[in-house]
Amino acid sequence: MMTITITAFEASPDRGRGLARDMPVRWALEEAGLAYDVQLLSFAAVKAAEHRSAQPFGQIPTYRDGDLTLFESGAIVLHIAERHAGLLPHDADARARAIAWMFAALSTIEPPIVERSLATLFEQDRAWFAERQAMLDARVRTRLGDLSRRLDDTEWLDGGFSAGDLLTIAVLRRLKSSGLLDEYPNIAAYVARGEARPAFRRAFAAQLEVFERNAAAG
């Protein structure tokens, strides 16, 4: 059996908070009980031609297993979930609905959250920052309100834990430092349930170890 190899930043800009996109892939691999190697890349290496042959947009992660190389964290999580137990239900309809939540996490819930993070990173010194941040908070709250109503008092989004929950929780974690999650107690509890899973903890510790080792060496 070939070893799975993923790529990740050698010095993640999130300072070990598990917000880089290797985190959901590590989590999925841990849920599936799969061993994997990690190839660490500098920012320059991620943008270089060699890496771009596997990742056209110069990002991490990639996933290599034998002859197959994949990019896009959502696609990698789905690939793992389709081939190993623990991340998708067996029933075909339930499986399709779990995959719908994977797409919802990345195409509906995440974009306003990432936009808010980008504004915080790159527009903090612009005259418009405060006014625009209020607009972005409102867009994020619209999504969180909808999600909170759907989640109600259930444990996971649709039956048992699935790759849809994994990606949704990975996306929501970007809001941890914003205080916005605390406005929706059932969402905060849902994220905490995800973070309490042993597979999440192993994945989180593995990416944190990379960050701390690099910081100590630097």
Pairing of strands 68-71, 4-9: unpaired
Nearer to its own copies, 16 or 159 (CB): 159
Applying the rule CB under 8 A, the residues between 27 and 86 that interact with its own copies are: 52, 56-59, 67-68, 70-76, 78-79
Angle CA(128)–CA(133)–CA(137) in degrees, nearest 5?
A: 160
User: Quick count: other Cβ atoms within 10 Å of Cβ 209?
Assistant: 11
Applying the rule CB under 8 A, the residues between 128 and 157 that interact with its own copies are: 128, 131-132, 135, 143, 146-147, 149-150
Q: Which amino acid is at 139?
A: R
- 103 touching its own copies, by CB under 8 A: yes
Angle CA(82)–CA(151)–CA(88) in degrees, nearest 5?
A: 10
Which residue of 111, 178, 188, 195 would you call a contact of its own copies, by CB under 8 A?
111
Could you give the CA distance from residue 22 to residue 35 in angstroms, rounded to a whole number?
14
Could you give the CA distance from residue 76 to residue 97 in angstroms, rounded to a whole number?
18
Residues in binding contact with its own copies, number by CB under 8 A = 44
Kind and range of the H or E run holding 64 = strand 62-65
Which residue of 106, 163, 191, 203 would you call a contact of its own copies, by CB under 8 A?
106
Nearer to its own copies, 166 or 206 (CB): 166
Instruction: Output the furthest CA–CA distance in the chain (Å, rounded).
Output: 56
Which residue of 104, 163, 172, 175 would you call a contact of its own copies, by CB under 8 A?
104
Binding site for its own copies (CB under 8 A): 52, 56-59, 67-68, 70-76, 78-79, 93, 96-97, 99-100, 102-104, 106-108, 110-111, 114-115, 122-123, 126-128, 131-132, 135, 143, 146-147, 149-150
